Amino acid sequence: MKVVILCGGMGTRMRDHHELSPKPLIPIGSRPIVWHIMKYYAHFGHKDFILCLGNRREAFVDYFLHYHYHNSDLTIDLGRPDNVRLHNRESPTEDWRVTLADTGLHTNTGGRLKRVAPYIDGSHFMLTYGDGLGCVDLDALLDFHRRAGKMATVSAVHPTGRFGEIAVNADQVISFAEKPQTTAGYINGGFLVFEKEFIHRYVPNDPGCYLESDALSHCARDGQLAAYCHEGFWQCMDTPREHQILEDLWRRGDAPWQVWADGPAVPKRSRALSWTS
């Protein structure tokens, strides 16, 4: 199954923090956040990726075209520049297929999806954003989508609180949680599944189309959008503070999304509900 990753945005709120890197290539540990996302999908067997590019397209081309160079020590014979010897400290062995699609610098999210439609084969596909990590059970998500019988399924998550959350009884604070994930309300957390027909039905050939406020809103009005409610870890990376949260989790060896190799066990299944409006 194809996995479409939206990677073309300008990332303006992160620009001062990482001026030279597009947001999906900002590292968590030693690897870009988009690598972590792809590694997570690959753990569940989804290894055929389409990256919708725009801002700093050439940086993505360089990273993936020279993937082994970026992830190895190397010896270069300057007298024979074609003679490069890799010393694979980490021996990257990802058997991924990556399509790098130029979807335009100022194209909105729906327009980007429309432009990569020719690369999507099969009856359905997955889609996510290049700046968010979570531990959504992708097997359960896909199974839910098939049972729901809708055009699209979105993973609904609780947003991360911006401020400390306190519980008060009379005039006494009985609990205090610093910037927790909130417990009320859901937002679009990415990790979506679509029928291919969704593109033809809801996404016009218009670079100004937004996937969220245009296509998905129309889909919801038609009763064709389902919600897979994820109660576990989810974290976007819109700001330097949020980048630091992910960096700290990775550095401590406590990253919930690291389900590959010696990482934590596959995350528990999320609660699934229908969402049609």
**pLDDT single digits (tens) 254-266:** 999 999 874 444 4
Q: If residue 197 lies in a helix (H) or strand (E), which one and from where to where? A: helix 197-202
Rounded to an integer, what distance in angstroms lies between the CA atom of residue 19 and that of residue 16?
5
Asked whether residue 177 is assigned to any structural domain, the reply reads: no
Asked whether residue 175 is assigned to any structural domain, the reply reads: no
Asked whether residue 257 is assigned to any structural domain, the reply reads: yes
Token readout for 128 is 């996510």
Summarize the confidence of residues 3-15 as an average pLDDT: 81
Tens-digit pLDDT profile for residues 76-99: 998 887 788 888 665 557 899 999
Which domain range does residue 134 map to?
Answer: 2-156+184-273
Instruction: Please report where in the chains the tokens 């429309």 appear, as a residue.
Output: 114
Q: What's 269's domain CATH number?
A: 3.90.550.10
Asked whether residue 172 is assigned to any structural domain, the reply reads: no
Asked whether residue 168 is assigned to any structural domain, the reply reads: no
Phi and psi torsions of 136, nearest 5°: -65, 130
Rounded to an integer, what distance in angstroms lies between the CA atom of residue 248 and that of residue 237?
13
How many domains is the chain built from? 1
Residue 169 and residue 188 in contact, taking contact as beta carbons nearer than 8 Å? no
| Single-letter amino acid, residue 164 | G
Please measure the distance between the N-terminal and C-terminal CA atoms of the chain and give it in whole angstroms: 27
Give one word for 158, left, alpha or beta, with left for phi > 0 and alpha for psi -120 to 50: beta
Residue 60 and residue 7 in contact, taking contact as beta carbons nearer than 8 Å? yes
Extended beta strands in the chain, E state: 2-6, 27-28, 31-32, 48-53, 73-76, 84-87, 97-102, 124-129, 132-134, 152-157, 165-169, 172-177, 187-188, 192-195, 225-230, 234-236, 271-273
Tens-digit pLDDT profile for residues 189-231: 999 999 999 999 999 999 999 999 999 999 999 999 999 999 9
CA dihedral 198, 213, 191, 113 (to 10 degrees): 50
Instruction: Please report where in the chains the tokens 């819109």 appear, as a residue.
Output: 238
Residue 222: C-alpha distances to residues 46, 131, 159, 206 (Å): 29, 29, 26, 21
Residue 193 and residue 126 in contact, taking contact as beta carbons nearer than 8 Å? yes
Tens-digit pLDDT profile for residues 97-155: 999 999 999 999 999 999 999 999 999 999 999 999 999 999 999 999 999 999 999 99
Query: What pLDDT, on the 0 to 100 scale, is given for residue 262?
Result: 47
Asked whether residue 68 is assigned to any structural domain, the reply reads: yes
Asked whether residue 198 is assigned to any structural domain, the reply reads: yes
Query: What pLDDT, on the 0 to 100 scale, is given for residue 90?
Result: 59
Query: What pLDDT, on the 0 to 100 scale, is given for residue 83?
Result: 85
Asked whether residue 127 is assigned to any structural domain, the reply reads: yes
Distance of CA 259 to the CA centre of its chain: 15
CB under 8 Å to 49, separation ≥6 — which residues?
Answer: 2, 3, 4, 5, 38, 41, 96, 97, 98, 99
Q: Of the given ranges (48-52, 58-62, 170-174, 211-215), which has the lowest mean pLDDT?
A: 170-174
